[in-house]
């Protein structure tokens, strides 16, 4: 009897939540989510598993677009945040803030080369905004070269750097001076550098662009060109950072040291929102030398988020999650490639580095159906924002092999089912 009452209550909460999305959040998004197969309300999550209000469990192969590298509710991160919550969650901004100082020291230690100073903010797009401002101040130049298909966020500055028109056109005029050239083509970057160019900004591996790994000489060439021409190299590691690709930072695959690096997503350990841009002493001198308040953020550097980030970095290093990502990424891709061999016409490519994996379909409709089919079978995936033909697998780096096996098996079934549904179309 009680069960019946609980079920009724539960269904009502689900219905009400979806209705409120329609009335107060975003009606189109509500439809999109239901159409994609996510018509329930999330309730709890732990490790690589998300549970909805109906009690269905899902293996999280999206991982919050890279947020949940440590999985959901990592115990060490949660404990650090609890401890900080009980003494001082937000900074007075008047006294020195120890968690901020400790985190910035730690970031200097783990980031490559001469990156030493950090500005802590609250999201990826804020980190990019700060990086762009720093590059302008340091070089006293205005322009940027970025990559087609690149994703750097959706506030006005980072949107100017983002390389997909549909998200930009409605907001024009954006910030002038941003030129987009094909990703992976260092020669094109060189050709478009002018006397006004301040920096080149790229993701080491394009995430939203469709999980695109550049040729091996790309980043080293960019480093060389930027040094020769006296401009800055900004590496946007918001999605690739902190072990995701099998190295602590993706630039390490090519031994490249950027002048500015941006981080966010996984930096908060899957518990707190946080972003950062990290630069060299000269850049900091140029930005903050005359006015230490030149760039500020009210919530940026708050002790709660800084403690989460420190714990996240600690867990990542202590458990050697970059190596684990490299090993499990190979394992995952092996499974996905077997499925590709079964459906060679439908699946164009399986590619990735570490646990940043993309599966490219010949037709984007198939990808959409596959995502829905996987959701119904208990696996969460999504397509890449700037390339709907590609679905991404970005699970927590702590995912187990048997969970990967299940995800591959479910993927196989969902592709088979999707192909039956579109037969005649394809």
- For ligand PLP, the binding residues (CB under 6 A) are 65, 123-125, 128, 151-153, 203, 207-208, 236, 238-239, 264
CA-CA distances (angstroms) from residue 224 to 131, 168, 192, 254? 20, 31, 15, 12
- Measured between its terminal Cα atoms, the distance across the chain in Å is 50
Considering beta carbons, is residue 153 or 300 the nearer one to ligand PLP?
Answer: 153
Instruction: Report in angstroms how near the CB of residue 264 gets to ligand PLP at its nearest.
Output: 5
Considering beta carbons, is residue 49 or 158 the nearer one to ligand PLP?
Answer: 158
Considering beta carbons, is residue 165 or 401 the nearer one to ligand PLP?
Answer: 165
Q: 147: alpha, beta or left, given left = phi > 0 and alpha = psi -120 to 50?
A: beta
Considering beta carbons, is residue 186 or 274 the nearer one to ligand PLP?
Answer: 274
* Cis peptide bond prior to 158, omega within 30° of 0: no
**Which residue in 146, 109, 139 sits closest to 283, CA to CA?**
139
The distance of Cα 309 from the centroid of its chain, to the nearest Å, equals: 15
Identify how many contiguous H helices and E strands the chain contains and give both numbers. 14, 15
Instruction: Report in angstroms how near the CB of residue 2 gets to ligand PLP at its nearest.
Output: 42
Tokens 């908060």 locate to 268
Q: What are the residues whose beta carbons fall under 8 Å from the beta carbon of 38, sequence distance 6 or more?
A: 375, 380
Tokens 């996987």 locate to 374
Considering beta carbons, is residue 128 or 407 the nearer one to ligand PLP?
Answer: 128
Instruction: Report in angstroms how near the CB of residue 76 gets to ligand PLP at its nearest.
Output: 23
Tokens 């662009």 locate to 209
Instruction: Report in angstroms how near the CB of residue 208 gets to ligand PLP at its nearest.
Output: 6
Instruction: Report in angstroms how near the CB of residue 162 gets to ligand PLP at its nearest.
Output: 8
Which residue's beta carbon is nearest to the bound ligand PLP?
Answer: 124
Q: What are the residues whose beta carbons fall under 8 Å from the beta carbon of 277, sequence distance 6 or more?
A: 118, 119, 121, 127, 128, 130, 131, 134, 260, 261, 262, 263
Considering beta carbons, is residue 207 or 243 the nearer one to ligand PLP?
Answer: 207
Tokens 């709660």 locate to 304
Rounded distance between C-alpha atoms, residue 118 and residue 297, angstroms: 13
Instruction: Report in angstroms how near the CB of residue 159 gets to ligand PLP at its nearest.
Output: 10
Considering beta carbons, is residue 152 or 223 the nearer one to ligand PLP?
Answer: 152
Rounded distance between C-alpha atoms, residue 64 and residue 358, angstroms: 15
Rounded distance between C-alpha atoms, residue 108 and residue 119, angstroms: 11
Instruction: Report in angstroms how near the CB of residue 90 gets to ligand PLP at its nearest.
Output: 19
Instruction: Report in angstroms how near the CB of residue 128 gets to ligand PLP at its nearest.
Output: 6
Considering beta carbons, is residue 238 or 379 the nearer one to ligand PLP?
Answer: 238
Helix (H, G, I), strand (E, B) or coil at 181: strand
């Amino acid at each position: 009897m009680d069960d019946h009452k609980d079920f009724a209550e539960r269904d009502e909460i689900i219905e009400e939540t979806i209705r409120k999305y329609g009335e107060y959040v975003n009606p189109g998004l509500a439809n999109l989510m239901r159409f994609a197969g996510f018509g329930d309300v999330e309730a709890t999550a732990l490790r690589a598993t998300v549970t909805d209000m109906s009690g269905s469990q899902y293996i999280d192969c999206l991982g919050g677009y890279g947020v949940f590298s440590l999985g959901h509710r990592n115990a060490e991160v949660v404990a650090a945040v609890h401890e900080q919550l009980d003494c001082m969650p937000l900074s007075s901004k008047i006294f020195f803030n120890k968690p901020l100082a400790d985190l910035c020291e730690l970031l200097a230690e783990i980031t490559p080369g001469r990156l030493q100073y950090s500005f802590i903010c609250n999201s990826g797009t804020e980190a990019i905004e700060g990086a762009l401002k720093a590059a302008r101040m340091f070089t006293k130049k205005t322009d940027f070269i970025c990559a087609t298909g690149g994703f750097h966020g959706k506030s006005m500055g980072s949107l100017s750097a983002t390389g997909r028109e549909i998200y930009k056109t409605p907001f024009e005029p954006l910030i002038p001076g941003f030129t987009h050239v094909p990703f992976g083509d260092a020669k094109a970057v060189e050709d478009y550098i002018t006397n006004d160019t301040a920096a080149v900004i790229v993701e080491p591996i394009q995430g939203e662009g469709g999980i695109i790994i550049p040729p091996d000489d790309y980043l080293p060439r960019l480093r060389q060109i930027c040094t020769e021409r006296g401009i800055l190299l900004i590496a946007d590691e918001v999605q690739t950072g902190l072990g995701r690709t099998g190295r602590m930072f993706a630039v390490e695959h090519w031994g490249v040291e950027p002048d500015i690096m941006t981080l966010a997503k996984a930096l908060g350990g899957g518990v707190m929102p946080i972003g950062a841009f990290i630069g060299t002493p000269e850049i900091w001198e140029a930005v903050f030398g005359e006015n230490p308040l030149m760039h500020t953020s009210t919530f940026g550097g708050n002790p709660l988020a800084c403690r989460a980030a420190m714990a996240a970095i600690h867990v990542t290093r202590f458990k050697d999650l970059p190596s684990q990502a490299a090993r499990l990424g190979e394992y995952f891709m092996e499974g996905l490639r077997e499925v590709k061999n079964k459906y060679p016409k439908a699946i164009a490519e399986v590619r990735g580095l570490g646990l940043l994996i993309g599966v490219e379909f010949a037709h984007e409709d198939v990808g959409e159906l596959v995502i829905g089919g996987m959701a119904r079978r208990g696996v969460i995936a999504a397509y890449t924002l700037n390339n709907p033909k590609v679905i991404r697998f970005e699970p927590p780096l702590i995912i187990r092999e048997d969970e990967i096996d299940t995800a591959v098996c479910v993927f196989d079934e969902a592709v088979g089912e999707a192909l039956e549904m579109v037969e005649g179309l394809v």
